[in-house]
Amino acid sequence: MEFSIKQGSPEKLKSGCVVVGVFDGGKLSKAAQALDKAAQHALSDVIARGDINGKGATTLLLHNITGVAAERILLVGLGKASELNNKTSVDILRATFKALQDTPAKDAALFITDDAIGKDANWAIQQAVFAAAESAYRSDCLKSKPAKPATLKQITFATLEKPTAAAKTALEQSAAIANGMSLAKDLGNLPGNICTPTYLSAQALALAKAHKNIKTTVLEEKDMQKLGMGSFLSVTRGSAQPAKLIAIEYKGGDKKQKPIALVGKGITFDTGGISLKPGAEMDEMKYDMCGAASVLGTMQAIAEMGLKLNVVGVIPSCENMPSSTATKPGDIVTSMSGQTIEILNTDAEGRLILCDALTYTAKFDPDTVIDIATLTGACVIALGHVAHGLFANEDKLAKELLAAGEQAHDRAWQLPLWDDYQPLLDSNFADMQNIGGRAGGTITAACFLARFTKEYRWAHLDIAGTAWLSGKQKGSTGRPVPLLTQYLINRAAAK
Ligand code: BES
Ligand code: MN
Ligand code: ZN
C-alpha cells in the first residue's frame, strides 16, 4: 500500500472514495460540510433520513454524488467529540478500512486529520496507516489458491490546511513501521517446519543484503560451544535443526555512539522438551519466535526510515524438542556468564537461550539492552492480550518504554523486578534453578534474566499474550514493532 499526504478540497479530489467524518447526532465535520455544500446537501439529506447518525465506528457508502469528483463518499461515524480517545479512534479507523476494503476502490482520500481523532493529527495518521496495513494483510501464502490481494492500493491523507513537515515525517515513519509489522507477522505465521532457525538467519542475511548499513553475522553451534554457551546449547540438544545465534548491526548513527541492543527470543517451535506441553493448541508454539520476529521487523523499519542511531539485533534461535539427546529435568548446565543452572523444567527454555544471548550482547558495549520474548504463560493470565509485560533495572528506561507504547498505541504495563522474588530461584545444587514455581511466574522469569544483565541498562518485554491472537482470528499481531520502533525514534530525536 502507498501513502501520501496533501492539501485539497474534499469535493475536488479525484479518487475512488473520499472519506469524511460525521459526529454523533449527525453533525458534519469540516470536510463533510464542504462536501455537503458542493453536493447540494446530499450528505445532510441521508443523515436527515436516518441512514447514519454519527455513532462511533459506523459507516455509510454513497455513490455518484453530483458535484463531487470522487466516485464514492464514505461517511464515518466519529461518535461524540468528547468521547474521541485513543481507543475509540482506533476502532473508528479500523471500521473505516474494513468498509473501504469492501468497495472496489483502488485509492481513497481520507480527511481525518482535521477531526481531532486520537491524540493529535500525526497520531491519527500513524494509526490510520497501521489500520490500513492491517486491513490489507493476508496470511494465506501457503494456500494452493491464495485470495486476491486487496484492490485498495493508494491512500491519500488529505488535509484542509497545508500539511506540516512533522506530518510528512509521521507518515513516512508509520509506513516503515507497518512494513516492519508485516514482516514480523509473516515470520510469526509461518509454520515451524518452514520457519526454522536457519530460515530466520536467512531473513537476517537478506536484511543485510537489502540495506548497506546493516551487517549480519550468524554464529553456529560450534562457535557457541567455544563461547561457553552451555545454557543455550542445552535447549537445542533434542533438535535435528541446527541452532543459530544471529547478530544484525545497523549503523545509522555516529561511529562512536554506543548501540541500543534488541534481543529477541527465537524458539521456532516449543514442544516443552522432555517436560512436554499438553497437546491442546500446541501448534501455537510456532509463535514462540515472535520476539525474534519483532527484532527483524524493527530492524527493517529503522533501516527503511534511515534512522540516525546505532542499533544491534541479537537473536538466539533453536527448537525445543524431546529426544534421547534432549536435556532432562535435573540436568545442570554452565551458562556463558559462568553461573550454573539446574534445569528443573525443560519448558522454561526461553530464559535459557536468552541468558547466554544477553551475556553475549555485552560484547557490543550497548547503551541499553531490551529483550523481547514470548516468555511465560503466566503473563497471559496477568495482563491478557492487551498489554505487554515490562520490567527494567532502571526506572527512567521503563518510563520511556511505557511512553513509547502509549505513543504508538502498543502499550506495556510495568511489573516489579524486586529482589524479594530472587530467593524463589535458589537451588540446592547449582547457582540457580530455571523455574520459581507458579506464583509470580512472569516476575521470576524476569528475575532470572536480571541475573545476567547487571552490567548494563536493561529492560524485558514479555509478549506472551500480545504477539498473536488465537481462535478464529488466529494470527500474529506484529507487536511490539510499533513500541520498539517508536522508542528508537525517540532516542534518535534525543541525540
Ligand atoms: N513459550 C512458553 C510461554 C508461553 C506459553 C507463551 C503459552 C504463550 C502462551 C515458554 O517457553 C514456557 O513454556 N513457559 C513456561 C514456564 C514454566 C515452565 C515455568 C510456562 O509459562 O508455562
Ligand atoms: Mn517453553
Ligand atoms: Zn517458549
- Domain contains 10: yes
Nearest CA to ligand 1 atom 13: 347
Catalytic site residue 474? Answer: no
Ligand 1 binding pocket mutation candidate from 267, 287, 347 (most atoms within 8 A of CB): 347
Start-to-end C-alpha separation, the chain: 32
Same domain, 256 and 349: yes
CATH code at 128? 3.40.220.10
Q: Cell 530525536 appears where? A: 493
Tell me if 412 is assigned to some domain. Answer: yes
Whose atoms come closest to the Cα of 345: which ligand? Answer: 1
Are residues 137 and 230 located together in one domain of the fold? Answer: no
The structural domain count of the chain equals 2
488 lines ligand 1 (CB under 6 A): no
Distance, CA 274 to ligand 1 centroid (Å)? 14
Give me the catalytic one of 258, 277, 308, 328: 277
Closest CA to ligand 1's atom 8: 464
Ligand nearest to the CA of 465: 1
Q: How many CB atoms lie within 10 A of CB 345?
A: 14
* Domain closes at, from 133, 160, 187: 160
Estimate to the nearest angstrom the gap between the alpha carbon of 443 and the chain centroid: 22
Domain boundary among 129, 160, 191: 160
Cβ-contact 183, 175 below 8 angstroms: no
User: Is 348's C-beta closer than 6 angstroms to any atom of ligand 1?
Assistant: yes
Q: How far is the CA of 234 from the centre of ligand 1 (A)?
A: 17
Q: Say whether 351 is catalytic.
A: yes
* pTM score: 0.98
| Structural domain range at position 79 | 2-160
Q: Between the CA atoms of 472, 410, 135 and 191, what dihedral angle is there, to the nearest 10 degrees?
A: -50
Nearest residue to 350 (alpha-carbon basis) of 429, 474, 236, 240: 236
Q: What share of the chain is helix, strand, coil (3-state, %, to 5)?
A: 40, 20, 40
269 alpha carbon to ligand 3 midpoint, in Å? 8
Catalytic pick among 237, 351, 411, 491: 351
- For the chain, 495 residues long, give each residue's pLDDT as a single digit of tens: 999 999 999 999 999 999 999 999 999 999 999 999 999 999 999 999 999 999 999 999 999 999 999 999 999 999 999 999 999 999 999 999 999 999 999 999 999 877 777 788 999 999 999 999 999 999 999 999 999 999 999 999 999 899 999 999 999 999 999 999 999 999 999 999 999 999 999 999 999 999 999 999 999 999 999 999 999 999 999 999 999 999 999 999 999 999 999 999 999 999 999 999 999 999 999 999 999 999 999 999 999 999 999 999 999 999 999 999 999 999 999 999 999 999 999 999 999 999 999 999 999 999 999 999 999 999 999 999 999 999 999 999 999 999 999 999 999 999 999 999 999 999 999 999 999 999 999 999 999 999 999 999 999 999 999 999 999 999 999 999 999 999 999 999 998
Packing angle, helices 350-361 and 441-450, rounded to 10? 30
DSSP 220-260: -HHHHHHHT-HHHHHHHTT-SSPPEEEEEEEE-S-TTSPPE
Taking the CA of residue 434 as reference, the ligand 1 atom at the shortest distance is 19
168 within domain boundaries: no
